[in-house]
């Protein structure tokens, strides 16, 4: 699996999912469970927006001509809790293009 997330794809998907700028943060070097210090791309979002965000991101990939990566994106997504009302959505081995 080789996927690079473009910051614009992610922010467009966040907007499409109805997640305001003050309600998310991009993480360029997140180390999730079982990653043993390796870093990857991640986004902190409100927990109730997970399905909407991942669906919007998959649509963004498909519309951008990367429909061959949509299943990899969905299959490898992971989450961790992020505070009281949020989650961290991340993909091990995936980085942001910027």
Whole-model pTM: value is 0.85
- Please tell me what DSSP assigns to residue 64: T
Instruction: List CB contacts of 48: < 8 A, sequence separation 6 or more.
Output: none
* Mean pLDDT computed over every residue of the chain: 87
Q: Is residue 3 helix, strand or coil?
A: coil
Instruction: Give mean pLDDT, residues 33-57.
Output: 90
- More confident: 50 or 32: 50
- More confident: 90 or 5: 90
Beta bridge partners of 81: 87
> Does the pLDDT at position 30 exceed 70?
yes
pLDDT at 28: 86
Six-digit token string for 83: 């505070």
pLDDT at 33: 81
Instruction: List CB contacts of 61: < 8 A, sequence separation 6 or more.
Output: 9, 67, 69, 70, 73
- More confident: 53 or 71: 53
């Amino acid at each position: 699996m080789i996927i690079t997330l473009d910051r614009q794809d992610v922010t467009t998907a966040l907007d499409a999912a109805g997640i305001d700028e003050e309600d998310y943060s991009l993480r360029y070097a997140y180390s999730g469970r079982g990653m043993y210090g390796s870093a990857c791309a991640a986004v902190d979002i409100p927990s109730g927006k997970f399905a909407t965000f991942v669906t919007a991101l998959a649509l963004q990939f498909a519309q951008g001509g990367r429909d061959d990566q949509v299943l990899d994106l969905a299959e490898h997504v992971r989450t961790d809790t992020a505070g009281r009302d949020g989650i961290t959505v991340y993909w091990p081995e995936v980085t942001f293009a910027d």
